[in-house]
Amino acid sequence: MRRTLVAANWKMNGSKDLVQSLIGELREPLSSLDNGVGVVIIPPALYVSDVSERLAGTSLALGVQNIARWDSGAYTGEIAAAMVADAGARYTLIGHSERRQLFGETDDDVAEKVQQALNSKLTVILCVGETLEERQGGLAGQVVRNQISRGLAGVSGQGWQSVVIAYEPVWAIGTGKTATSDDAQAMHREIRSLLAELGAPADDVSLLYGGSVKPDNAAALFAQPDIDGGLIGGASLNAQDFIRICQSA
């Protein structure tokens, strides 16, 4: 179902102390938000259980940053979708640009992970986005279309209910540069038409924007008709900034 979501991607940051202090500061203000926004906290997998304990009794949901392409077995260092669900998380990022760029994840890997997530009843947050070179070469739309159509090739029917897409232009991640709200809206519109072409219930799929979202640019981005919230990196590690972003959704 299309709903407004704001997700906090902590990336490889945090500690038990941070879980205690940050979730402690977020719990009350985010539980009492009256704008209907769903909040998802996505810590490093090792802290999922600690965050889960700290979130007990709130409406905040929990996710992980990556899952394995396989069910179970001899895959040292990997974490299966079923384990993520077992630990109490409901969402998983898949295909974040850092995974694609630093770990060589391909669209085929992404498609396999999407299947794993859906099999374990996790909601997928599929991350897509073009590099600066691709944008300057006029390829942004095509790159994003390919990532979505290949990554979601195995999704059909009810599966679409468990898919969220996060458009994160690579050049905007951690750089302080953000797409203008008009450019972000244009790409989100294009993603929604692609979803319709793919046979998805396009108006029901939540589309998030990510890349240097801060308290001072969040409201303008979230006000766009096809932007249903955000995937927040750096600013999600600061309680006051993250609360302000969630309030503007």
Does residue number 94 form part of the binding site for ligand 13P (CB under 6 A)?
no
CB 241 within 8 A of CB 214: yes
Does residue number 213 form part of the binding site for ligand 13P (CB under 6 A)?
yes
Find the catalytic residue in 98, 112, 168, 188: 168
Nearest alpha carbon to residue 62 among 24, 31, 88: 88
User: CB 116 → ligand 13P: shortest distance, Å?
Assistant: 20
Of 173, 195, 200, 246, the one binding ligand 13P (CB under 6 A) is: 173
Q: Which helix (H) or strand (E) element contains residue 28?
A: helix 24-31
Does residue number 9 form part of the binding site for ligand 13P (CB under 6 A)?
yes
Query: The tokens of 160 are what?
Result: 């679409």
Please say which residue, 9 or 248, places its beta carbon nearer to ligand 13P: 9
Give the contact letters, 104-143, x = binds to ligand 13P (CB under 6 A), - = no: ----------------------------------------
Of 23, 80, 164, 231, the one binding ligand 13P (CB under 6 A) is: 231
User: CB 242 → ligand 13P: shortest distance, Å?
Assistant: 10
Residue 231, C-beta contacts closer than 8 angstroms, at least 6 positions apart: 7, 9, 93, 125, 127, 166, 168, 208, 209, 210, 213
> Which residue type occupies 194?
L
Does residue number 233 form part of the binding site for ligand 13P (CB under 6 A)?
yes
Does residue number 232 form part of the binding site for ligand 13P (CB under 6 A)?
yes
CB neighbour class for 180 (10 Å; exposed up to 12, middle 13-18, buried from 19): exposed
What are the Cα distances from residue 8, in Å, to 96, 123, 242?
Answer: 13, 15, 8
CB neighbour class for 189 (10 Å; exposed up to 12, middle 13-18, buried from 19): middle
Say how many residues touch ligand 13P, by CB under 6 A. 14
Binders of ligand 13P among residues 33 to 72 (CB under 6 A) are: none
Residue nearest to ligand 13P (CB): 233
Query: The tokens of 145 are what?
Result: 């279309």
Residue 99, C-beta contacts closer than 8 angstroms, at least 6 positions apart: 66, 105
Please say which residue, 174 or 201, places its beta carbon nearer to ligand 13P: 174
Find the catalytic residue in 96, 98, 105, 130: 96
168 is catalytic: yes
Interface with ligand 13P (CB under 6 A): 9, 96, 168, 173-174, 210-213, 231-235
The residues that are catalytic are: 96, 168
